[in-house]
């Protein structure tokens, strides 16, 4: 997980999003132990305080829990991950729809274009 981070978003949030995506794809399983703060800091080449903030934020959201002396674990119940999946999905769709509206496409055109793209790939 070596990264170029986008400039406009705090890094702690970008790392949280990367971890969320891994959970959604099932690469990180419910109940699994996450890397230690130091390990993830070295992997991502990011300040350990930033990683700690990522973990705190994820804990506040109820996605992970810290067990004293053992580390940080993904929660066991999958509903939280399902919620995350729904949330991130509607965020991506929302951005897509907004961009299309900015290009002046109607809802119908959007569906049509999307369908065409999925059938044939990028038409250019």
Partner 1 sequence: MKIELKNVTKKFGKEYALKEADLSLSPGKIYGLTGPNGSGKSTILKLITGLSFPDSGSVLIGGRPAARKETKNIAYLTELDMFYDPFRVKDMIHFYETQFSDFRINKAWDLLKDMKIDGDKKIGKLSKGNRGRLKLALTLARDAAVVLLDEPFSGLDPMVRESIVKSLLTYLELDKQTIVIATHEIHEIEQILDEVVVVLNGRIEEKKDVEQLREESGMSLLEWLKRFIEEKN
Question: Does the protein bind partner 1 through residue 95 (CB under 8 A)?
Answer: no
Question: Does the protein bind partner 1 through residue 19 (CB under 8 A)?
Answer: no
How many Å separate Cα 110 from the centre of its chain? 25
Considering only residues 16, 23, 34, 46, which one is a binding residue for partner 1 as defined by CB under 8 A? 46
- Candidates 10-18, 21-29, 65-73, 95-103; binding stretch for partner 1 (CB under 8 A): 10-18
Considering only residues 42, 93, 111, 112, which one is a binding residue for partner 1 as defined by CB under 8 A? 42
DSSP bridge partners of 71: 67
Considering only residues 28, 41, 63, 75, which one is a binding residue for partner 1 as defined by CB under 8 A? 41
Closest to partner 1 by CB, 82 vs 91, is 91
């Amino acid at each position: 997980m070596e990264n170029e981070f986008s400039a406009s978003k705090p890094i702690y949030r970008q790392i949280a999003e990367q971890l969320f995506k891994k959970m959604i794809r099932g690469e990180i399983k419910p109940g699994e132990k996450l890397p230690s703060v130091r390990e993830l800091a070295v992997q991502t080449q990011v300040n350990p305080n930033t990683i700690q903030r990522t973990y705190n934020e994820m804990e506040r959201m109820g996605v992970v829990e810290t067990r004293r002396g053992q580390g940080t674990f993904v929660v066991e119940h999958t509903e939280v991950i399902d919620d995350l999946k729904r949330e991130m999905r509607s965020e991506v769709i929302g951005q897509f729809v907004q961009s299309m509206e900015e290009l002046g496409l109607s809802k119908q055109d959007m569906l049509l274009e999307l369908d065409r793209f999925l059938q044939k790939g990028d038409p250019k």
